[in-house]
Structure 1
Amino acid sequence: MKYSEEEALGLIETRGMVPAIQAVDVMCKTADVVLVSYENMGSGLVTVMVKGDVAAVKTAVENGAAAAAAIGDMTACHVMPRPISRVGKIVSQHDIDAE
């Protein structure tokens, strides 16, 4: 699934996999976003990334961050509206659907 410059990128970082999975579940259920990737960053940190239109990603990250914080440690969240193409290339390399 190729990343488009017209899309936003949403990221949530948690301490542990359980809050990360909860965040992704809530993000995908409450907004029209697609899971791009998850990364085990080390020291127990897990980052999940979603993409979609700007409004959907903002809604998804707000809801996902709240859900993660409710059951565990949500350490960071961020929305990047229409990031430059080089960021998209980095994200595409980590896409869970990449071939």
Structure 2
Amino acid sequence: MEFMFYVVPAFIAVVVIVMAVKVIRRSLELKQAWSSGLTAEARCLRAYTTTRHHNDSGHITTTQHHVYEFTPRGGRPVRFDEANGPATTVEGDFVADLP
């Protein structure tokens, strides 16, 4: 039972580190997008998920996708799909995204 005093805090530490890495990566992506000047206000047209079954390990991976559309100065709408975007974005939201 003594091992629980080592396993539980180690597990919590690993979870915190993984979440911190994800937050830092996303903030660096956003910083790069804003500093490049290549941002546009886009509207989320659709949000959906896909699942993939890994035969070798038996795991199932779920990926959230968003379909965005924006209109540049040329007037022709541009539509693109983003994988692993923020889970808080829903259909109809306006976001600043990369074209």
User: Taking structure 2 as the reference length, what is the TM-score of the superposition?
Assistant: 0.26
Return the index of the structure with the highest Cα Rg.
Answer: 2
Structure with bigger helix share is 1
* Structure showing greater relative contact order (alpha-carbon pairs closer than 8 Å, 6 or more residues apart): 1
